[in-house]
């Protein structure tokens, strides 16, 4: 015979988290002394945690302020763009305050893992919804940090050409020649090709001049070179020499502007005397040491640049006129000259007009397209 099996009901596992009714019943059953002791202990613990949270909050605010000022100084010394500086500082400040608030809430005994998970999931959802905007934001940060172009540069990108008016976090605003404002997203600018016409301080100007087959090429070349040599904006031989010459002219103009007029000098003299009478406070030793190291580093970098320039051979940039093509109706001359970027279009249009006016005076004619037609009679 099989043994008789008696079904046994499964044991009920008591709930580890007591309900509100159980808590109320437990408090009612407790003696008054124990209840007071528990209340005093809870209030004391909460007061201690509250005091610690207040101290941590104000200490965290002090640390955040110091970090904010330190980061602001670092970004200012590195010449970071103002819009990027303000954005980075505000983001860092918000992040630090969020960490501080979460820390204070945790000290008060409130569970913070749910808050962190909620913010993380919200961040993922927002990032997926704003993927294009975040791409433009990342592109704006790269543009402001790497500086492929700056405000005032003439660029050509994304099928548009114009002068950069403003660089923002999400887009760049350029102004065309007909005064149209074009807003280009930074995502495409950071990943695509950008032609910056203002990046270099000197550019080459090209002209194509057609003369008749019966004209003397040497006479045309000589007259064009005379026009270019007479223009002070055109580089005569080396760019380095032209750069030094223009720097010297600017320095002479600056000194002349500072020294012109005896009345202005007389007005400046009392101010200089008053400024000299004011005692200058002596800098601390660590500031003087830092400044001396900085000056030594700058001098070392300047010497290194000078040595590199001496090693690199200079390239002649004198104007040239060569025969480019033997076309059907004319001999095409290619004229090339170098000038500063800010003079590019003025030199191009003015020299073009001078060539048109001066070459006919030297007996050089400009041909027009023509075709000879021979008729045969049968």
pLDDT bin (cut points 50, 70, 90) of residue 356 is very high
Q: Rounded distance, CA 88 to CA 3, Å?
A: 80
pLDDT confidence bin for 208, thresholds 50/70/90: very high
* 95 in the same domain as 50: yes
Q: Give the tens place of pLDDT for each residue, 68-88.
A: 888 888 877 777 767 677 777
121 and 156 inside one domain: no
**Is residue 217, in this structure, part of any structural domain at all?**
yes
pLDDT digits (tens, 9 = 90+) for 91-148: 888 888 888 888 888 887 777 777 677 777 777 776 666 667 778 888 888 888 788 8
Burial class (CB in 10 A: 0-12, 13-18, 19+), 19: exposed
Residue 237 has pLDDT above 50, yes or no: yes
292 in Cβ contact with 201 (< 8 Å): no
pLDDT of the residue at 272? 46
pLDDT at 209: 92
Tokens of 136: 């433009």
Residue whose pair of structure tokens reads 């279009």 in the numeric block: 345
In this structure, is residue 376 part of a structural domain?
Answer: no
On whether both 100 and 174 belong to a single domain, the answer is no
Residue 21 lies in a domain: no
pLDDT at 314: 72
* The pLDDT of residue 106: 81
Same domain, residue pair 89 and 156: no
Q: Judge whether 206 and 334 are in contact, CB under 8 Å.
A: yes
Same structural domain, 228 and 325 = yes
For residue 99, the tally of other CB atoms under 10 A from its CB is 12
DSSP per position, 16-58: SS--HHHHHHHHHHS-HHHHHHHHHHHHHHHHHHHHHHHHHHH
| Residue-range definition of the domain harbouring residue 85 | 27-129
Angle at which helices 344-358 and 217-230 cross, to 10°: 140
Q: Is residue 125 assigned to a domain?
A: yes
Lowest mean pLDDT, pick from 121-130, 143-152, 171-180, 303-312: 303-312
Beta bridge partners of 203: 339
Residues 153, 204: one domain? Answer: no
The verdict on 107 and 227 lying in the same domain is no
Tokens representing residue 120 in the block: 């993380």
Residues 152 and 205 in one domain: no
pLDDT at 271 over 50: no
Q: Does any domain span residue 98? A: yes
Q: Tell me if 288 is assigned to some domain.
A: no
Mean pLDDT lowest for which of 101-115, 253-267, 349-363? 253-267
Which of 129, 155, 173 corresponds to the end of one domain? 129
Higher pLDDT, 350 or 29: 350
Pair (79, 101) in one structural domain: yes
Confidence of residue 278 (pLDDT cuts 50, 70, 90): very low
Residues 32 and 92 occupy one common structural domain = yes
Question: Domain total for the chain?
Answer: 3
Distance of alpha carbon 370 from alpha carbon 19, whole angstroms: 105
Mean residue pLDDT of the chain comes to: 77
**Tokens standing for residue 269:** 């003299």
CATH number reported for the structural domain that contains residue 245 in this entry: 3.30.70.100
Indicate which CATH number applies to the domain containing 152: 2.30.30.60
Asked whether residue 268 is domain-assigned, the answer is no
- In this structure, the answer to whether residues 100 and 154 fall within a common structural domain is no
For the whole model, what pTM was predicted?
0.54
């Amino acid at each position: 015979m099989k043994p008789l099996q008696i079904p046994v009901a499964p044991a009920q596992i008591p709930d580890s988290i007591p309900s509100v009714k159980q808590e109320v019943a437990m408090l009612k059953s407790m003696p008054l002394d124990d209840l007071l002791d528990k209340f005093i202990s809870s209030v004391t613990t909460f007061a201690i945690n509250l005091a610690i949270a207040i101290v941590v909050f104000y200490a965290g605010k002090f640390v955040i302020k110091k970090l904010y000022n330190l980061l602001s100084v670092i970004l200012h010394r590195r010449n970071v763009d103002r819009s990027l500086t303000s954005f980075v500082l505000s983001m860092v400040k918000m992040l630090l305050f969020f960490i501080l608030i979460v820390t204070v809430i945790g000290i008060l005994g409130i569970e913070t893992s749910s808050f962190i998970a909620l913010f993380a999931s919200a961040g993922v959802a927002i990032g997926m919804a704003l993927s294009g905007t975040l791409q433009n934001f990342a592109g704006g940060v790269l543009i402001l940090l790497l500086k492929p172009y700056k405000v005032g540069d003439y660029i050509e990108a994304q099928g548009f050409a114009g002068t950069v008016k403003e660089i923002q976090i999400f887009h760049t605003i350029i102004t065309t020649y007909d005064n149209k404002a074009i807003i280009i997203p930074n995502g495409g600018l950071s990943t695509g090709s950008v032609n910056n016409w203002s990046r270099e301080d000197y550019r080459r100007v090209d002209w194509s001049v057609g003369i008749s087959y019966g004209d003397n090429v040497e006479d045309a070349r000589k007259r064009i070179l005379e026009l270019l040599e007479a223009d002070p904006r055109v580089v005569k031989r080396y760019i380095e020499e032209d750069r030094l010459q223009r720097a010297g002219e600017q320095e002479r103009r600056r000194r002349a502007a500072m020294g012109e007029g005896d009345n202005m000098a007389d007005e400046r003299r009392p101010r200089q005397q008053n400024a000299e009478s004011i005692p200058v406070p002596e800098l601390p030793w660590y500031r003087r040491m830092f400044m001396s190291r900085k000056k030594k580093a700058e001098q070392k970098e300047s010497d290194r640049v000078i040595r590199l320039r001496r090693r690199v051979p200079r390239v002649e940039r004198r104007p040239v006129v060569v025969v480019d093509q033997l076309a059907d109706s004319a001999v095409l001359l290619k004229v090339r000259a170098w000038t500063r970027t800010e003079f590019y279009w003025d030199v191009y249009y003015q020299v073009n007009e001078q060539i048109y006016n001066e070459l006919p005076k030297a007996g050089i004619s400009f041909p027009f397209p023509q075709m000879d037609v021979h008729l045969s009679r049968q």
